[in-house]
Structure 1
Amino acid sequence: MKTIKFIAACAMLTSAFAAFGHENMPHRATTAPVAKEQKDWGIAGDAKAVRRTITIRMTDNMRFTPNHVEVREGDTVRLRAENKGRVLHEIVIGTKIDLDAHAEMMAKHPGMEHDEPHMAHVTEGKTGDIVWHFNRAGSFDFACLIPGHYQAGMTGTITVSPP
């Protein structure tokens, strides 16, 4: 009898956790304070410091438009991701190595919850913003890490040139 109760409890827990895929993840409110952590590609920016908004469209053909962005070191930019598709997409900024590792983790754990200032999850027909301060020159990447999207080529680059 204990075995049957244990199996039933496990089944209920599995069903409950299955409901928490990317579509149902809690997302950071735009007014909530953001934890600022220096990354190789910059740091979370302050909305008041934004001087430029760059709109990046995401579609179900697994592409970003534009797929290359140029900014200057020191710029605080709003990357506005518009989901023009019919499925969930996301935009995550990082280095190729970081994005590769994160994509591998997402493939193993597709329901994984995360909410970082360098990420925006965008449901069908909606927009999501990343406010980012590019305080390091270099070439960086962005991608959709929803399982299968990254592998299909849903990637882009950011060139941060010296001031």
Structure 2
Amino acid sequence: MLCDPVSRATNSTCLGLARFPPVSRCSPAAYPSGWVRNHPPRRGKALRCFSTITPERIGSTSRRCRMRIHLVLRTLVVLAASALLVLLAAACAAPKQAAPAGESSEVRVVAREFSFEPATIEVQAGRPFTLILENQGAVEHEIEVHEADIHLHAGPGQTVQGTFTIATAGTYEIACEIPGHKEAGMVGELVVH
């Protein structure tokens, strides 16, 4: 439709405003809340791309919209993965429950040249526990607790274990009684609660 200067001032179709005739072309009251010349109010760029997707337009979205959609989806995947990692870390950091009465708990001690790792072992009084001695040293080592009648001996590269129950709470000295090892610092503590 051709619009001459006279009809242009009065005919809203010439202005491209068929649905909302303006009071004045420059007046804010000419267009309803946010509408400017038949264009809807602006929304976020990514949302605008999602709102234009219809079944008949799939595959025909602009490259810019596809990139925005890809960015939004990638952000959602990263956020979901981060949330999953936080939940997994919280589950792994949850305190472990002590073994119920009658069940054996395991305590692993690694022996190296003239040290125990961990140097302090904690167990519950009256509950059986399995003590595992893993010798990662080049010479033989042992764990000896005289007051609790505990003795384990392992050659180089060996792993040995024994199940023990200590009835009395207290702190006991553990040591490697092979000559020279205790003097070299191969000692620790067994704490019974």
Q: What range is the shorter-chain TM-score in?
A: 0.5 to 0.7
C-alpha separation in 1, matches of 2:162 and 2:119: 16
Letter in 2 for 1:158: L
Higher relative contact order structure (alpha carbons within 8 Å, sequence separation ≥ 6): 1
Q: CA 1:50/1:93 → structure 2, altered by over 3 Å: closer, same or farther?
A: farther
Match of 2:129 in 1: 77
Deviations 1:34-86 (A, max 9, x none): xxxxxxxxxxxxxxx552111100001x0000010111111111110000001
Matches within 5 A, 1:9-158: 50-60=103-113, 62-95=114-147, 118-158=150-190
Percent identity, please: 32
Q: Which runs of 4+ in 1 moved over 4 A?
A: none
What do the CA deviations read for 1:103-152 (whole angstroms, capped 9, x no partner)?
xxxxxxxxxxxxxx621110011111131101111111111010000001
**TM-score, length-normalised on structure 1?**
0.53
Unaligned runs of 5+ in 2: 1-101
- Aligned counterparts of 1:94 and 1:140: Cα–Cα separation in 2: 8
Higher share of residues assigned helix:
2
Q: Which amino acid aligns with 1:149?
A: H
The one-letter code of the counterpart of 1:123 is G
Amino acid at match of 1:72: Q
Q: Number of residue pairs matched? A: 92
In 1, Cα distance between the equivalents of 2:165 and 2:158?
A: 23
Larger radius of gyration: 2
TM-score, L = length of structure 2: 0.45
CA distance in 2, matches of 1:155, 1:130: 19
